[in-house]
């Protein structure tokens, strides 16, 4: 365990150094967040009763999503991992007495956490200061906040374990840029990154809420905003745990298979 913590630490510290990237990210997330808020507020002005979530909940959903984007977005891949597989630098990773799955998992989590730490504070501060209709609200209760906290980390785990499947696929198809992007777009859409899952049409929503993507940002954001609470929230967390275990198990199995037939590229 200690060695993974050490790898986690070095990745975390390295990621913290990229301040310019963080600033650019914050700017993008403000722009995107405001755009979404304006679009939703236009819809709600027409008919506030026609939607499955209260406007207040949607506003909070969007602000937290933007603040913790780096933890929730599937497309935040670790390019180093793709590069290591494609260039053959993975040879060095394989001569270490470290489980490669755990190693990549911990460095992905570290990278995402470091990015989120840098970016979340300014966004949250602004979100609590803007005038009321667009202002972010506090969670309904302390207990609900604790559930949100737990659910956030489970969501991060599910996102990273899904990323791991994409990394592992690189062993089989060497330049999966296209597949990578499509996987990320689809996953993010089904996770509720464009519109929250409750806005999906009924039948489609029913299916979407069973997929692993619903165990990503969908859960913590709806728990924080109070759209899911009480036993429903506990059920949601159980749902996340089940998918986390499934995806990690699948990833470890595939990794083992991939390493057995691995071809280290480039001499």
Partner 1 sequence: MIQLQNISKTFRIAKRQAGLGRAVKALFSRDYETVHALRDVSFTIGPGEMVGYIGPNGAGKSTTIKIMCGILTPSSGTCLIHGRIPWQDRLRHVSEIGVVFGQRSQLWWDVPVCDSFELLREVYRVDAKEFRRNLDELVPLLDLSEVLKTPTRSLSLGQRMRCELAASLLHSPQILFLDEPTIGLDAVSKIAVRQFVRKLNQERGTTVILTTHDMQDIEALTRRIILLGKGRILFDGPLDDLKKRFPGAKTITLEYRGNAPSILPGVEILDSRDGRLVLKVQPTRGLVSDLIAHIASQVQILDLSVAGASAEEMVAALYKEYAI
Which residue ranges make up the site for partner 1 (CB under 8 A)? 2-3, 5-7, 10, 13-14, 17, 88-89, 91-92, 94-99, 260-264, 267
Question: Cβ of residue 105: shortest distance to partner 1, in angstroms?
Answer: 15
Question: Cβ of residue 11: shortest distance to partner 1, in angstroms?
Answer: 9
The residues, ordered by sequence, that sit 6+ positions from 70 with a Cβ below 8 Å of its Cβ are: 25, 76, 112, 113, 115, 116, 119
How far apart (Å, rounded) are the C-alpha atoms in residues 21 and 111?
13
User: Which ranges of 130-227 would DSSP assign to H, the alpha helix?
Assistant: 142-169, 177-191, 202-208, 218-224
Q: Which two tokens stand for residue 150?
A: 């737990």
Q: Exposure pattern of 144-166 as b/e (b: 16+ CB <10 Å)?
A: beebbebbbebbbbbbbbbbbeb
By C-beta, is 95 or 202 nearer to partner 1? 95
Measured CA distances, 133 to 121, 138, 143, 200 (Å): 21, 14, 25, 24
By C-beta, is 54 or 93 nearer to partner 1? 93
By C-beta, is 46 or 92 nearer to partner 1? 92
Question: Cβ of residue 3: shortest distance to partner 1, in angstroms?
Answer: 5
By C-beta, is 92 or 177 nearer to partner 1? 92
Question: Cβ of residue 17: shortest distance to partner 1, in angstroms?
Answer: 7
The residues, ordered by sequence, that sit 6+ positions from 49 with a Cβ below 8 Å of its Cβ are: none
Measured CA distances, 191 to 115, 221, 263 (Å): 20, 11, 34
By C-beta, is 211 or 259 nearer to partner 1? 259
By C-beta, is 49 or 97 nearer to partner 1? 97
Question: Cβ of residue 177: shortest distance to partner 1, in angstroms?
Answer: 17
How far apart (Å, rounded) are the C-alpha atoms in residues 82 and 144?
38
Question: Cβ of residue 9: shortest distance to partner 1, in angstroms?
Answer: 8
């Amino acid at each position: 365990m200690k060695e993974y913590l050490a790898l986690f630490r070095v990745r975390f510290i390295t990621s913290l150094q990229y301040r310019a990237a963080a600033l650019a990210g914050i700017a993008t997330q403000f722009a995107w967040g405001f755009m979404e808020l304006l679009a939703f507020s236009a819809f709600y002005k027409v008919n506030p009763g026609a939607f499955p979530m209260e406007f207040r909940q949607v506003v909070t959903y969007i602000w937290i999503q933007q603040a913790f984007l780096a933890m929730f977005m599937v497309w935040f891949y670790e390019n180093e991992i793709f590069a290591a597989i494609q260039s053959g630098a993975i040879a060095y990773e394989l001569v270490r007495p470290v489980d490669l799955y755990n190693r990549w998992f911990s460095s992905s989590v570290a990278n995402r956490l470091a990015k989120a730490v840098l970016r979340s504070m300014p966004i949250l501060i602004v979100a609590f200061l803007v005038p009321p209709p667009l202002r972010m609200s506090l969670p309904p209760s302390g207990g609900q906040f604790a559930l949100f906290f737990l659910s956030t980390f489970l969501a991060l785990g599910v996102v990273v374990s899904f990323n791991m499947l994409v990394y592992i696929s690189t062993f089989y198809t060497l330049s999966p840029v296209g597949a990578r992007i499509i996987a990320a777009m689809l996953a993010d859409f089904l996770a509720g990154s464009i519109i929250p899952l409750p806005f999906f049409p009924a039948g489609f929503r029913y299916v979407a809420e069973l997929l692993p993507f619903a165990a990503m940002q969908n859960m913590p954001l709806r728990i924080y905003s109070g759209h899911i609470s009480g036993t429903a929230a506990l059920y949601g967390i159980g749902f996340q745990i089940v998918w986390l275990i499934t995806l990690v198990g699948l990833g470890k199995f595939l990794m083992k298979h991939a390493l057995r037939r691995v071809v280290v590229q480039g001499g």
